[in-house]
Amino acid sequence: MLMYKRVGITVKSGLDYKNEAVTKVIEILKSLGTEILVDASRVDESGTEYPSYLSEDDIDLLVVIGGDGTILRAIRDLKTFTTPILSVNRGTVGFLAETELDEAKEILPILLSEEGVLETRSILDVKAMRGTEVIYSGYALNEAVVAQGTIARLVDLKTEVNGEDLTTFHADGLIIATPTGSTAYSLAAGGPIVHPAQLATILTPINPHSFSQKPIVLPSSDEIKVTVLTKENKFKDAEVILTLDGQVYVPLKNGDVIHASGCKTTVQFLRRKQDTFFGTLRTKLKWGERLEN
């Protein structure tokens, strides 16, 4: 039985052989009897004969063709997070992807039938304030990063949790990550791997000046407040940047405040089975493998 009848398609704008990839996915979906709608701003001549979707209400499922970056962009474009996402990987690692393009013909019919299951992932609700002015408000699936935006120079980031002082990180920056983001930048900076089913937020300092300032895992419901404390110097390089999922950049000034917490809604991914996380660790990150001599 077909569970998703109206399927939207979006794709990485600069994808190599984009039209061929989109055409292949469209042919598979047509054979299943789905109604196809496209992201008109990104799907070129391969999808011009199909109507475009204007909002999540128009589709039952969103197929994302590309890599993890395309998924992050697609999620940022969503408004209510009620539409499940199915990723067809045409990127590199594809940590969030469920299927590769060359296996899509076999896997898509399975996923769109009753054999597909939904996996939920938590996201961060992030707001940057300058006094009483909101200078940015949005969401992140992986992480929000507060860090120096110029030459290497430590920055002080006063961090509070639920109104209580945690510490002032004297570091290159601070990563506020979701469990999904625990295997991205946070992991590279020394943070822990956290199973995506956990409702948690990970704080990972980037190259902290103190050995005592280690990563910490908090409940996702905790309200995190980070105040930027910079000092003027002769090099005039005290610029600090808020980055969301490596794609959104917000310049910050001394005294700016970032508020972050787990969002009350979650993003849904269509998967083959309930838990593929450990398999993904082994295949994508080669986690636990012994090094060859």
Last residue of a domain, one of 115, 139, 169: 115
Task: Give the β-pairing of 61-66 and 6-11.
Answer: parallel
Residue 91 has pLDDT above 70, yes or no: no
Residues 167, 234, single domain; the answer is: yes
Task: Give the β-pairing of 35-38 and 6-11.
Answer: parallel
Is 58 among the catalytic positions?
no
Residues 102, 159, single domain; the answer is: no
Residue 293 has pLDDT above 60, yes or no: no
Residue 179 has pLDDT above 80, yes or no: yes
Task: Let me know if residue 275 belongs to a domain.
Answer: no
Q: Give the pLDDT score at 235.
A: 54
pLDDT tens-digit profile of 247-284?
A: 999 999 999 999 999 988 899 999 887 666 777 777 76
- Indicate the burial class of 133 (C-beta count within 10 angstroms; 0-12, 13-18, 19 or more): exposed
Q: Give the pLDDT score at 85.
A: 95
Catalytic residue among 39, 60, 68, 245: 68
Contact 137, 127 (CB under 8 A): yes
Task: Give the β-pairing of 248-252 and 240-244.
Answer: antiparallel
- pTM higher than 0.85: yes
* Structural domain count, the chain: 2
Residue 93 has pLDDT above 70, yes or no: no
Confidence of residue 90 (pLDDT cuts 50, 70, 90): confident
Residues 260, 161, single domain; the answer is: yes
Task: Give the β-pairing of 216-219 and 200-206.
Answer: antiparallel
Give the span between the Cα atoms of 199 and 203, in whole angstroms.
Answer: 14
Task: Let me know if residue 290 belongs to a domain.
Answer: no
181: left (phi over 0), alpha (psi -120 to 50) or beta: alpha
Q: Taking residues 95-118, what's their average pLDDT?
A: 88
- Indicate the burial class of 246 (C-beta count within 10 angstroms; 0-12, 13-18, 19 or more): middle
Task: Let me know if residue 281 belongs to a domain.
Answer: no
Task: Give the residue numbers spanning the domain of 35.
Answer: 6-115
Contact 242, 144 (CB under 8 A): yes
Helix residue ranges, H only, the chain:
18-31, 68-77, 104-112, 185-188, 277-284
Contact 125, 81 (CB under 8 A): no
Q: Give the pLDDT score at 123.
A: 94
Residues 183, 59, single domain; the answer is: no
Q: Taking residues 8-12, what's their average pLDDT?
A: 93
Residues 131, 261, single domain; the answer is: yes
Residues 129, 258, single domain; the answer is: yes
Residues 52, 108, single domain; the answer is: yes
Residues 96, 147, single domain; the answer is: no
Residue 182 contacts by C-beta under 8 Å, 6 or more apart in sequence?
191, 192, 193, 194, 202
Residue 48 has pLDDT above 80, yes or no: no
pLDDT tens-digit profile of 61-71?
A: 999 999 888 99
Task: Let me know if residue 234 belongs to a domain.
Answer: yes
Q: Give the pLDDT score at 1.
A: 77
Q: Which residue has the tokens 């993890």?
A: 68
pLDDT tens-digit profile of 197-244?
A: 899 999 999 999 888 899 999 999 999 999 999 876 555 555 899 999
